[in-house]
Structure 1
């Protein structure tokens, strides 16, 4: 059974409102368990640098701890139209087996292929 956990920095700094949204997203997540990782989208935004911030629940569905080391991730919207793609190596993102953790993936401005419209956004690992 999946459990929800927060990275130490998140746990100390997240607002009560965002924590509630994350907990609700976890309860409502439709996890198919067809792969090692699955993502449940929570929200998206652009920062002052023009970077795309995509906050998701990362579900480690395997029986092994998981790390993000040179993992290519694509952000798509609407009818699977690619918006951005970037290779992530995140040393601090280690997820225990059968655990879900919220995380914000930051796509650099130069990784955007088109303007996001923030409609039905999804993250996928590119194999």
Structure 2
């Protein structure tokens, strides 16, 4: 059974509105047990540096902790790959049977195309 947790930094800063939205998306997520890591996309945006910020709930359905150290992640929409980046987030370790929201920041030089369509998804 998956449990939803928030990274301590998120727990201190997330708005009540966003927390409720994430909790609702988590409750409605159809997580498949045959994939050790799955993503439930929440939203994407661009920051002042034109980097792509993709917020998703990361689901670790495996029996092992999962680290985002040296992990290549791509972001796809219906037209194909939109961005790809090698992440080294040492502080992001998702414990077994745990889900956690996170924002992945794709630097400008890793964005392949834009604008993005709805129903985009993250992949490892």
Structure 1 length-normalised TM:
0.94
**2:2 and 2:115 mapped to 1: Cα distance?**
31
Aligned length: 124
CA positional deviation for 1:116? 2.9
Which residues in structure 2 correspond to 1:28-47 (within 5 Å)? 28-47=28-47
Map of 1:85 onto structure 2:
84
**2:88 and 2:68 mapped to 1: Cα distance?**
5
CA positional deviation for 1:25? 0.7
**What are structure 1's unaligned runs of at least 5 residues?**
none
Structure 1 residue ranges (4+ consecutive) displaced by more than 3 angstroms after TM superposition: none
**2:68 and 2:115 mapped to 1: Cα distance?**
24
CA contact (8 A) 2:75 2:83 kept: yes
For 1:9-55, what per-residue CA distance to the aligned partner results, in whole angstroms no more than 9, with x for missing partners?
00011000000110011001111122210000001100000000000
**2:101 and 2:115 mapped to 1: Cα distance?**
21
For 1:91-115, what per-residue CA distance to the aligned partner results, in whole angstroms no more than 9, with x for missing partners?
1101111000000000000001111
CA positional deviation for 1:78? 1.6
**1:58 and 1:97 mapped to 2: Cα distance?**
11
**What are structure 2's unaligned runs of at least 5 residues?**
none
Map of 1:9 onto structure 2:
9
CA contact (8 A) 1:75 1:85 kept: yes
**1:85 and 1:56 mapped to 2: Cα distance?**
15
CA RMSD of aligned residues (A): 0.9
